[in-house]
Amino acid sequence: MSEDYSMTSQDSRVQSMFNRVTRSYDKINSLMTMGRHAQWCREVARRADLTASGRLLDIATGTGEIALAARRRYPGAEIFGVDFSENMLAEAREKPGADSIEWEFADAHQLRFEDESFDAVTHGYLLRNVSDVERVLWEQHRVLKPGGRVVVLETSPPRGVLKLVLSVGMSVVLPLLGQIIAKDREAYTYLKSSTLGFMSPAEVAAVMERVGFRDVDWATKYFGTNVIMWGHKP
């Protein structure tokens, strides 16, 4: 899968949306998860399981929450935070500790990094927002060293007995928060739709295994609406 990638109209719309909601993004994430988002970012960093001098790539770094959590946990590591929203990167660069991280513009569909150049890859809320999930995961597999780990924080469509209640709640609350806090109901209506319409953890795991990851597993969070997934490159 080495052919060049051209950004689709969907990618462009998502990029524009994230450039618009930068200032409110952390606040709404915290409100929607009742403060658990920061804890999940710390868990993602822990599961990356870096050595003292390891190299970590955090894709769709956004405002840098996972990358900065990794910096605090692995002070000697080399950490790259990449995103295709320049506004998000600008916000990340202003946070305490940001000077010790390499922040770069990048499209997750086509990374500039060499094969087998990282010990771990992490990302939060990336897969539901890309036009080609398999290609994005293949790129992550490519840049990982053998034995390297991938750790994913993602939303998960509600299932089971609480499915109706949670779906209705998200359909009402998320656009409303977007309207009140971000002054952008349209963006958070999209985020609601991308969450409710996204793949289940089992479906994501199947794609991860198809591109070559092994020992894929996951833990659901917050009534099953969020999930942390992990695997390794043999």
Annotated binding site for S-adenosyl-L-methionine: 63, 83, 107-108
CB atoms under 10 Å from CB of 72, counted, come to 11
Alpha carbon distance 190, 188 (integer Å): 5
Asked if 147 contacts 233 with a C-beta cutoff of 8 angstroms, the reply is yes
Alpha carbon distance 108, 216 (integer Å): 20
Residue 11 backbone dihedrals phi, psi, to 5 degrees: -60, -45
Alpha carbon distance 179, 189 (integer Å): 9
CB atoms under 10 Å from CB of 225, counted, come to 21
Kindly state the helix (H) or strand (E) to which residue 85 belongs, with its residue range.
none
Alpha carbon distance 64, 91 (integer Å): 8
| One-letter amino acid of 27 | K
Annotated binding site: 63, 83, 107-108
Alpha carbon distance 39, 98 (integer Å): 19
Alpha carbon distance 143, 73 (integer Å): 22
Alpha carbon distance 74, 65 (integer Å): 14
